[in-house]
Amino acid sequence: MLLRQYGSFAGGIDLPDEKHSTLGMPIEPAARQGVLRVPLAPCAGPPARMLVPEGTRVSAGERIAAACGGVDVYAPCEGRIGKTVDVQVVSAVGVKHSPAIELVAVGQMAPIRLLVPVFDWRAASSREIRTSLAGGGLTTAKGHIEPLNIWVERGLRACCKCIIANVVEPQPYVTSDHRMLVENGAEVIRGLMIIAKALEVGQMLLAVDQRRVDQYRGLVGAARACNVAMVALPAKYPAGNDTLLVKVLHRRETPIGKETFDVGAAVIDASTCFAAYRWVACQSPQTARVVTVSGQGTMPRGNFWTPYGADCQSMLQEARGTMVIGGPMAPSYQADNAVVCAATDAVLNLKTPPATTATPCIRCGWCTDHCPARLNVKGISDAYELGKIDRARRLHAGACIECGVCSYVCPARLGLCERVVWIKRLLQQRPQQVRPQELHPEARP
């Protein structure tokens, strides 16, 4: 089955790619770190319960904490258990604090190796696969980070009809999923098939960037063998957003406040597919992921196989600038105690932007023209300034996909995306009318 070309969506913008420095760089093991701080609550749910006492020597892949509503935690490398500390990890709303266990005197991270399957997942039933997915420390890596087995159960209850593996990666600089698909594409496709079998869906799609099609030609055979349709989308930001993918590929509009599950589609990422295959088929737990290190300035650029708990700041070494977790359009600015987790696809060093003063809106309409959710962004911004939350609700502020396009194109340098997102959060938590200062005082001009 050849790569099929699909159409696009209304709105969006063309961004500079900025991927040239890492796009062709193979995945390498991350530099050895003396201490790892492995999060005990990497996703939604309470922290895991420690199983080994402080001072115990553990080997790579050994279970060190048992799930208490979240996921099991495994040692990424050989090392000695240290004390419990507090770290920051990526979450659906930016960052969150999590307890973590120190792993000291750790060994060198091993490269990604081809593993021999020990479980015949093709002959297994859907129930057996779902039982297996409950282990291995498997979590989703995009959006609302949660245990993979819980995500599968929610999709099963929603009676999904198709599953989409999202490898579009529209953000500048980020190339981690691209390199994963180029070098380990067969395992990603098998992992997609495993998750699809657990969801009991028959239609499987693999969505990629149209500019990278030639590099994925070698996966056509593996995709055909697993009955996966490979589709290419035009390069336009934010093409990788879940709701937009479902709208373009599944022809379904996700209602406000709902998920893609509610329209019969499940969207998963390449990293989770890869981890699912290696756990279900090879019994290798999820303890690391590919992280792109790039940006502006001098630093060791590349795509690195990085253990969970690695310090993000140390990956940039002595680079000066602002550390950004994820892409620059919808980033998470984190403190010095940020560590790598399942949702950390990139650690970037970007120049600190000069301080700018917002000016009055010139009514150009660019924010509305380029909004992929087709929102009246300026109207919502006016409602923000006036504190008219009911008006913002009527303008469907809850449909914002938080892509940052409106702030990017605004010639008045207004924090439009920040305003809309804060109103969206408020509508989810406190729907009554409030003063603008209660929303986000820094965003006011």
Single out the residue of 406, 324, 116 nearest to residue 423, CA to CA: 406
Distances (CA, A) of 198 to 146, 271, 371: 16, 17, 35
Exposure class string for 261-286: b at 16+ Cβ within 10 A, else e: bebbbbbbbbbbbbbbbbbbbbebbb
Give the Cα separation of 356 and 389 in Å (integer): 28
Q: What is the pLDDT of residue 442?
A: 44
Helix/strand/coil (H/E/C) assignment for every residue in 44-64: CCCCCEECCCCCCEECCCCEE
- Asked if the peptide bond before residue 238 counts as cis, ω within 30 degrees of 0, the response is yes
What's the pLDDT at 334? 61
The C-alpha atoms of residue 77 and residue 133 are separated, in whole angstroms, by 22
Per residue of the chain (445 residues), what is the pLDDT tens digit? 345 666 678 889 999 888 999 999 999 999 888 899 999 988 877 889 999 999 999 999 999 999 887 889 999 999 999 999 999 888 766 778 899 999 997 888 889 988 899 999 999 999 999 999 988 889 998 878 889 999 999 999 999 999 999 999 999 999 999 999 999 999 999 999 999 999 999 899 999 999 998 899 889 888 988 899 999 998 899 988 999 999 999 888 999 888 999 999 999 999 999 999 999 999 999 999 999 999 887 678 999 999 999 999 888 886 777 888 888 887 666 667 889 999 899 999 888 777 778 899 999 999 999 999 999 999 999 999 998 888 999 999 999 999 999 999 999 999 999 999 999 988 887 654 444 445 544 444 3
Residue-level pLDDT at 222: 87
Bridge partner list, 323: 349
> What pLDDT is stored for residue 2 in this prediction?
46
**What is the pTM for the complete model shown?**
0.91
Residue 215 Cα to chain centre, angstroms: 22
Give the integer Cα–Cα distance in Å for 294 and 21.
8
Closest CA to 272 of 384, 178, 140: 140
Taking the C-alpha atoms of residue 215 and residue 399, their distance in angstroms, rounded to an integer, is 35
DSSP β-bridge partners for residue 84: 101
Cα-Cα-Cα-Cα torsion 74, 79, 84, 85, nearest 10 degrees, comes to -100
Q: Pick from 158, 32, 90: which is nearest to 323 by CA?
A: 90
pLDDT at 335 (0 to 100): 64
Nearest to 237 by CA among 166, 176, 170: 170
